[in-house]
Amino acid sequence: MKNNIARQSGGFTLIETLVAISLLVVAIAAPMSLAAQSLSSAFYARDQITAFHLAQEAVEAVRSVRDRNLLIALSGTPTDFIAGIPNTSGQPFTIDTRDNSMLICPNGVCPVLKNNSLLYGYGATPDWKDTRFTRIVRATLVGGGADEAKIAVEVRWRSGAYQERNFTINENLYEWVSTGGI
């Protein structure tokens, strides 16, 4: 009789052990999955904010060129309000906002932006490294007239291994004073 009681209370069976391990795995895996999803969302939000600022920066650079042209016109020299913008028929171009230089994208493909840990641009020295962001700027005249231009800036980046994301911002710029331009 004594031997029978010892056998029944000896320990866990294999099934009880497997159930306990399964519960432990579920209890650990669920929070780990949630943490991974949260990190992915945080990285996407960071990239989306960067893309927004890069797009807005390009719009401000084009606005700066427009304003410079209007000031030249107001000083007495007839100037087109979009002078200096390399193309106004929708062909993509880049803007290096360090000096507002604008170049048509070769073969319609704009290069990736570079970063020197302080600024984004197209620097050529070794401290300028490629980023995951590509900024594409397009300008088109609106309504066939020469007093309004639509600026569209698209920023593309790769999120994760294969997913490409993009952010686009549009702005209409006006010739709000007569420039006597073309």
The backbone torsions φ and ψ at residue 102, rounded to the nearest 5 degrees and listed phi first, read: -125, 130
Cα–Cα distance for residue pair 171/174, rounded to 1 Å:
10
Tens place of pLDDT per residue across the chain (182 aa): 555 554 555 667 888 888 888 888 888 888 888 887 888 888 888 999 999 999 999 999 999 999 999 999 888 888 888 899 999 999 999 999 999 899 999 998 999 999 998 999 998 888 999 999 999 999 999 977 678 999 999 999 988 777 899 999 999 999 887 655 44
67 secondary structure, DSSP code: H
Helices (H) and strands (E) counted in the chain, each on its own, are 2, 7
Cβ(116)–Cβ(129) below 8 Å? yes
161 secondary structure, DSSP code: T
Cα–Cα distance for residue pair 128/96, rounded to 1 Å:
13
pLDDT at site 182: 46
pTM of the model: 0.78
Cα–Cα distance for residue pair 159/86, rounded to 1 Å:
31
pLDDT at site 22: 87
pLDDT at site 71: 92
Cβ(95)–Cβ(102) below 8 Å? yes
